[in-house]
Amino acid sequence: MIFFGGGFIVIKLSKLVLNVLILVFILGLVILGIIFGSKAVLKYMYPIKYENIVEKTAREYGVEKELVYAIIKCESDFDENARSHAGACGLMQITPETFEWVAKYHAKNKDLSGADVHKPETNIKIGTLFISTLIKKYKNEVLALCAYNAGMNALDRWLRENDEFKKSADTEHIPYPETKEYVKRVRRAKKMYKKLYFN
């Protein structure tokens, strides 16, 4: 509530209005970046954080660091306290099931503790190890990102049921709209990180 003199005006912003305002702000930043060619605006929108952890784990697990940054940007926008309705947490939005699978699949990583999954170092390590494993398994970044977002079981089912997707393995043939949009966002962010920082 905001009080003016003896009266008051109640301001109630719905989630939709708030999201529209945020979108307008972001679009404004993008337009400023385009008009002025300002890398500073784009770097504000696509920051580099947790650099030492990302560099180390990306190198250790053979993943492009711009891909790790892109996943973090799209999953949590660098909010280490982010939580999803599905129980995923942290920078790379790791679910308890994903943590257990990674810990079991990579038994040599005895230093991984489920209690620490929300901590940036553990979360980035698990997320990077997971995407690395998916890239090796599917031998394709688009498929790996589909599995990261929707799960391996869903991806395997799509590949069995959708010949077009199986043949092309491109974003346009991803059968689930949410995953299709996720993969496109991550790939756009990856290109932006490469252009801004690693070109």
Domains along the sequence of the chain with CATH: 1-45 (no CATH), 48-197 (1.10.530.10)
The whole-number pLDDT of residue 118 equals: 87
Question: Hey, what are 105's tokens?
Answer: 């699949």
Structure confidence by residue, pLDDT tens digits, 88-117: 999 999 998 888 888 777 766 656 666 778
Residue with tokens 């973090």: 72
Q: How many Cα atoms are found within 13 Å in the side-chain-facing hemisphere of 110?
A: 1
pLDDT exceeds cutoff 80 at 32: no
Q: Could you count the other beta carbons within 10 Å of the beta carbon of residue 151? A: 16
Q: Could you count the other beta carbons within 10 Å of the beta carbon of residue 82? A: 18
- Taking the C-alpha atoms of residue 144 and residue 142, their distance in angstroms, rounded to an integer, is 5
Q: How many Cα atoms are found within 13 Å in the side-chain-facing hemisphere of 124?
A: 26
List of residues 6+ apart from 56 with CB closer than 8 A: none
State the virtual CA torsion across 194, 197, 198, 199 in degrees, nearest 10: 80
- Taking the C-alpha atoms of residue 95 and residue 117, their distance in angstroms, rounded to an integer, is 9
Mean pLDDT of 63-70: 98
Q: pTM of the entire structure? A: 0.79
**AA identity, residue 81:** N
The whole-number pLDDT of residue 111 equals: 63
Report which of 178, 90, 156, 152 is spatially closest to residue 127, judged by C-alpha positions: 90
Model confidence at 9, in pLDDT bands (50, 70, 90)? very low
The whole-number pLDDT of residue 48 equals: 97
